[in-house]
Homo-oligomer: A and B are copies of this chain.
């Protein structure tokens, strides 16, 4: 079976033909041109789907869309997506179905990354796992019995906004001390700049010459690989905070496989090893057996694979 997976972002619409056995067969990307407004963007989405149907050797069974904003429990309506001007409450799935004839469901990005990992990634082996996506923001998806756990209203898994310090810093929510405020790209870079500015002789400090706003997590990672002790410490501190947050997830959900994905996680064991150590130092004993933190290596494709899986698995 083939499903059409779409990643609807503020700058680009990515789409893919996803085969239930083979994964991504073909992949496309066009600019969102979100500034042209809601109706233009909806028409563009319909065109993307029609293009994917035309490119497919067999008829796709449905459309799955990863969208920003709040997704309704029935996965049809999106509310107030950030970065999409003019959108308020939009029955997106119904509009796509009307325009293309294919059934459609929408879901948030992090849940789709979790679903993608469950169907095509390292998560395949685990019926239950917690996905943490480390990127611009920090998102989460919970897979329970091989399906997305959505809670009572559809919003479960806001893992970046789980506090580990109620007096801590804020990211893009009223929650203080959520791990997005430590590990979100902008926040991690800001913290790194603060630390590095104490060390004028450090190679990273010299490299960015006061322009730390240009520093990305990958610069920290590269420096850490090269043995830069301050960079290693910065990533360690971030990893420990991730570890403390993971303890919260595990004590609430008793799901003991954690899968980390996204850009920041490319720092790999510079973050994940301190996270493991911190988590194991705080977990209650009964939760330690089988506890593991894994890395999803499939990168950006994982959410598209999840969107395609959502399409394939639509139930009427």
- Shortest beta-carbon distance from A154 to chain B in Å: 7
Min CB distance A253 to B, Å, is 5
Across the interface, do B282 and A157 meet the contact criterion of CB distance under 8 Å? no
Which of chain B's residues have a CB closer than 8 A to the CB of A165? 164-167, 177
15 further A-B contacts with Cβ under 8 Å, apart from A155-B286, A252-B252, are A70-B286, A127-B152, A128-B151, A153-B254, A156-B254, A157-B252, A157-B254, A159-B252, A165-B166, A165-B167, A166-B282, A174-B283, A175-B251, A175-B284, A176-B282
The verdict on A204 contacting chain B, using a C-beta distance below 8 Å, is no
The 9 closest A-B pairs by CB, nearest first: A151-B254, A128-B152, A156-B254, A158-B251, A155-B254, A166-B244, A70-B286, A164-B166, A173-B284
Contacts of A127 in B (CB 8 A): 152
Kindly identify, within residues 272 to 316 of chain A, every residue whose CB is under 8 Å from any CB belonging to chain B: 281-284, 286-287, 289-290
| In contact, B152 and A144 (Cβ under 8 angstroms) | yes
Q: Name the one of B162, B244, B284 contacting A252, with C-beta atoms under 8 angstroms.
A: B162
A174/B282 contact (C-beta < 8 A), A163-B247, A164-B163 known: yes
Interface centre among A151, A249, A252, A283 (most CB of B within 10 A): A252
A150: chain B residues at CB < 8 Å are: 254
Proximity bits, A175-207, B CB within 8 Å = 1, else 0: 111100000000000000000000000000000
Q: Give Cα A154–Cα B289 distance, bound, in whole angstroms.
A: 13
* Contact across chains for B252 and A249 when beta carbons are under 8 A apart: yes
A228 to chain B, nearest CB (A): 25
Nearest-CB residue, chain B, relative to A127: B152
With an 8 A cutoff between CB atoms, is A236 at the interface?
no
12 contacts between A and B (CB under 8 A): A127-B152, A151-B253, A151-B255, A152-B254, A156-B254, A157-B252, A159-B251, A163-B248, A164-B177, A165-B165, A174-B282, A253-B253
